């Protein structure tokens, strides 16, 4: 169980990294080779954890399996980048949003409103 929001997001980022690398492998099987996969995160403490290979007292309780992302950032398989909270596209799928906010994020993803297409 995560003891902080940073730790929870770190664990989630590791899971996202694993799934993204799986998709990267699938695409390479079809001849589409990608280099660094960008992962967007809105918490700088998580980004710092992935880039610093030194074990700190605050992170020593995190299980080793959750440091998967750190290894892949070091190997340059993926690259974790900061995204402001207002541009966090995942909110579209994880939070209740106002109609305006929903439409803003939907448009950023390139999803069209069917009413305006027909």
Question: Based on the domain organization, do 34 and 50 belong to the same domain?
Answer: yes
User: Whole domain around residue 45: which residue ranges?
Assistant: 1-83
Question: Based on the domain organization, do 75 and 94 belong to the same domain?
Answer: no
Question: Based on the domain organization, do 62 and 97 belong to the same domain?
Answer: no
Regarding pTM above 0.75, the answer is no
Contact 19, 62 (CB under 8 A): no
Question: Based on the domain organization, do 75 and 99 belong to the same domain?
Answer: no
Question: Based on the domain organization, do 53 and 71 belong to the same domain?
Answer: yes
Q: pLDDT digits over 93-109, tens only?
A: 889 999 999 999 999 98
pLDDT band at 26 (very low <50, low <70, confident <90, very high): very high
Contact 109, 87 (CB under 8 A): no
Question: Based on the domain organization, do 61 and 79 belong to the same domain?
Answer: yes
Tally the domains of the chain.
Answer: 2
Q: pLDDT digits over 28-77, tens only?
A: 999 998 888 888 888 888 888 887 756 555 555 566 666 778 888 888 88
Question: Based on the domain organization, do 72 and 37 belong to the same domain?
Answer: yes
> Which long-range contacts (C-beta less than 8 Å, at least 24 apart) are formed by 98-106?
none
Question: Based on the domain organization, do 13 and 70 belong to the same domain?
Answer: yes
Number of neighbouring beta carbons within 10 Å of residue 39? 21
């Amino acid at each position: 169980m995560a003891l902080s929001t940073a730790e929870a997001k770190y664990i989630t980022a590791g899971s996202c990294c694993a799934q993204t690398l799986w998709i990267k492998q699938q695409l390479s099987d079809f001849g589409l080779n990608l280099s660094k996969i960008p992962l967007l995160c809105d918490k700088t403490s998580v980004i710092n954890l992935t880039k610093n290979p030194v074990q700190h007292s605050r992170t020593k309780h995190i299980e080793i399996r959750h440091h998967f992302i750190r290894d892949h950032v070091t190997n340059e398989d993926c690259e974790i980048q900061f995204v402001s909270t207002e541009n966090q596209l995942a909110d579209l799928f994880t939070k209740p949003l106002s109609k305006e906010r929903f439409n803003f994020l939907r448009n950023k993803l390139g999803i069209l409103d069917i009413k305006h297409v027909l």
